[in-house]
Structure 1
């Protein structure tokens, strides 16, 4: 009996271990005619749609990529592969197979598995970012027009899924998810349109974007929308409609709707300082939202703001406070790497410039490209045009060490021209230190930017990033040179 009992116990433990390893659901992705490609995958975090959880995987050859989901990862899944976005609602026990064939013009994406017709429709449906839809509803000058216009659009989408449900082609959980998503998606459109009207009315009257005073009927619709579709709905954070980035439904509520409510009852308007605004938004989350929505929205805000690589000091402090209040938050692992980068950032930028990081003397007084290049007469120059807000520019900085070594070896000057405005001067200098950009640096003044625009962009503003090669005599050899990431090809171009 003892041996039998022990054997039974071992079987039970083994079964539990096997179940722990078994996926709750799987999604297989196959791409025809590709040797290798990147796949961007967003899986739910405790069923919520937290965009900070997005990760990148690789798909190779004819072998499908199998994505395994745990119980907590079932729900809305977003996959981007070969520039195609796949949207799914994955339930426990589902095994969904996706095939992408670009040669099949009629049906490039095939989805098989539970609710396949609904999954296909969800993927093909044009649920655009609400802010991008503002022009569509621009002519809705009164609230009833806006409400009817958005309601009609919602009914068209909803009726298609209702037909699938009535024909038993999608199950009730899938249909309920779609209804929740479309409810909050279209509510987001209404609140985004109204928020834009309110913000335009709050501008100074001499501002070219100022609009007439905010209409009370839009205010009433705003209030009615948030009553009908509450921000504090835990189910809503699991829908695509609520959670399409922070600054839609919850963002409009915290940053615009509550500001309007304050002014409506005679309170002073919010300050315009970015750091103060972040702190005020966090306070509003804590005072107006309830768990688990408050935790989700605050985590989303911290991730979004830290991703912008700005205001690191206040964001680090706010994240530390978040961890104290939510020590077991499932969102911490996704935010922590960004917070660690913030700490590393400030450790580096508090140092002095190195001998290799040279700010051009009296750079504010240089008004023309000819005057600037005269500082390097007799030497060829490789120029990088950039700005602190230009992410593609900063993506190239990881290739600077190899480029710097090549330029120094070949006696070629390295010039970084920033087109930032004066408000970004401190950040400009910080990023030079953070990325260890060895070379000569200038932040162009308005006159120099105008001259550069004429020379490199035909007087039509400027587009970043841009790279150029200047000869030893000061003439422009390449108006659109290769980028640092091109490495050997760029080095060959510089050696001609």
Structure 2
């Protein structure tokens, strides 16, 4: 009897190992061109893919890399570097994929070798395959001038059918698997539904300035009909990378249309520092279970990576941890919450002795006046704002920047184009990023002067300018801190 039990146990153990083996999915890849330090890949959690929930692998010196994951269902896996997308794999349990990433001057070629390779190729030709490469608005803007809701629905419906028909043909020919087909079709269904909802949302927002094309009745019906036809409760929706933005549009609909919320109410909530709390409470009202857990996790992550360092997000995260103690999403969100905690601790420290906020900034009406107030031979000007993500990315290179400026007898001047209600946030970020040099927040007249200097070019930030001591522009577009070689050459040539 004992020998029989051992025999049965060995069989069960073997079955268990075989089952685990069947779930294992592997990707063997090769990247050519400049080999990055790491390749990021989204990690499907419960079959759900979100661009922020990711891990990374380090390629070897020749560009080879390998990824192994356990999957229980077909899932999307996005490969990227610094949120620059390479491509997407529709991965199935037990499958092996050979990936080639060829980085060329103009673009990146991404190919996937597998039994579904034709389907993989077709999917990666889609510019709206993920949040890293597209959005509902890219499709919605094709109908932004249409004034007949029926025609909008018909037009988007035709676009969807044309796209879906390609995958139907591959399935009928036995070129892609049924699991591959089901996942892609669900994904496309909700992308085109999201485009419809996006048109309604745009009209709602434009109605505040009386610039809406659809009437209130028309865009309200278009919005509501979309969620009836493609409900947020559909379990297939959670497996689409479009889940988050689709559900966010749904919550806006429930708030703006069903809840009749007024813009003034939202503005007051924002002033109180409770806008994120309000949105999470709204999600709790209309979502439950895994949907609620996933949506809240994605929301907190997305708001945290904006680097606005809102203390409210720390409180919301702590509440999420308490309510979802075993959530697989916690480690991914926590890594983005830690810098917010550090940001607020930094505010207790004294201002860097090399940091100077210019007095009487309201009376500085031009770039020349700003530069002359510093009394320097050359000035490197950084025009930025607290809401500008790329501006804050440039601050990572400030160590090398300050060394260069010191060697070239050049003074640093930061000009913020933030609105008046961001003064405290502006000062907090100066302290957190330890921005050495002179600082001023642009007055209305100084902002106008900067726009005049930009001329016909689109006004964008970050924008870096090199001037002489009198504020005369030497380089209208100086090299940014991230391109220190260009800036060094410009400084030495002038």
Instruction: Please indicate, yes or no, whether the TM-score normalized by the shorter chain is above 0.5.
Output: yes
The corresponding residue for 1:43 is 43
The corresponding residue for 2:131 is none
Q: Report deviation, 1:391.
A: 2.1
| Conserved? CA contact 1:198–1:256, under 8 Å | no
The corresponding residue for 1:271 is 266
1:428 and 2:426 correspond: yes
| Conserved? CA contact 2:147–2:213, under 8 Å | no
Q: Distance in 1 between matches of 2:363 and 2:246?
A: 46
Q: Report deviation, 1:294.
A: 0.7
CA 1:100–1:41: 2 relative to 1, 3 Å = same
CA 1:333–1:10: 2 relative to 1, 3 Å = same
Greater CA drift, 457-466 or 10-19: 10-19
The corresponding residue for 1:29 is 29
The corresponding residue for 2:463 is 466
Where does structure 1 lack aligned partners over 5 or more consecutive residues?
Answer: none
CA 1:370–1:46: 2 relative to 1, 3 Å = same
Secondary structure, aligned partner of 1:452 = helix
| Conserved? CA contact 1:29–1:66, under 8 Å | yes
TM-score normalised to the size of structure 2? 0.86
1:267-310 Cα deviation digits (max 9, x unpaired):
76652343443222111111110111011111111111111122
Q: Distance in 2 between matches of 1:186 and 1:322?
A: 31
1:381-438 Cα deviation digits (max 9, x unpaired):
2222222222222112122234334544665322111222212222111110000111
1:170 and 2:167 correspond: no
Within-5 A mapping of 1:364-443: 364-408=362-406, 411-443=409-441
1:144-170 Cα deviation digits (max 9, x unpaired):
212211111111111111111111112
| 2:253 counterpart (253, 256, 270) | 256
1:478 and 2:475 correspond: yes
Within-5 A mapping of 1:355-370: 355-370=353-368
CA 1:492–1:85: 2 relative to 1, 3 Å = closer
Within-5 A mapping of 1:279-358: 279-310=277-308, 312-358=310-356
CA 1:26–1:489: 2 relative to 1, 3 Å = same
| Aligned length in residues | 482
| Conserved? CA contact 2:309–2:343, under 8 Å | no
Secondary structure, aligned partner of 2:259 = helix
| Conserved? CA contact 2:32–2:63, under 8 Å | no
RMSD (Å) for aligned C-alpha atoms: 3.4
TM-score normalised to the size of structure 1? 0.86
Q: Report deviation, 1:46.
A: 2.1
Within-5 A mapping of 1:185-200: 185-200=191-206
1:323-364 Cα deviation digits (max 9, x unpaired):
111111111111001111110001112444232221001111
Greater CA drift, 192-201 or 13-22: 13-22
| Conserved? CA contact 2:466–2:474, under 8 Å | yes
CA 1:31–1:407: 2 relative to 1, 3 Å = closer
Q: Report deviation, 1:443.
A: 1.0
The corresponding residue for 1:223 is 224
The corresponding residue for 2:216 is 214
| Conserved? CA contact 2:375–2:469, under 8 Å | yes
Q: Report deviation, 1:318.
A: 0.9
1:88 and 2:89 correspond: yes
CA 1:277–1:300: 2 relative to 1, 3 Å = same
| Conserved? CA contact 1:27–1:97, under 8 Å | yes
Secondary structure, aligned partner of 1:302 = helix
Q: Report deviation, 1:23.
A: 7.1
Secondary structure, aligned partner of 1:46 = coil
1:60-97 Cα deviation digits (max 9, x unpaired):
55453212112268511112379664222211111111
Greater CA drift, 294-303 or 402-411: 402-411
| 1:448 counterpart (446, 457, 460) | 446
Q: Distance in 2 between matches of 1:262 and 1:483?
A: 46
Greater CA drift, 143-152 or 28-37: 28-37
Q: Distance in 2 between matches of 1:13 and 1:416?
A: 65
CA 1:228–1:477: 2 relative to 1, 3 Å = closer
Secondary structure, aligned partner of 1:292 = helix
Greater CA drift, 470-479 or 182-191: 470-479
| Conserved? CA contact 2:372–2:470, under 8 Å | no
1:38-64 Cα deviation digits (max 9, x unpaired):
534223122112221134544455453
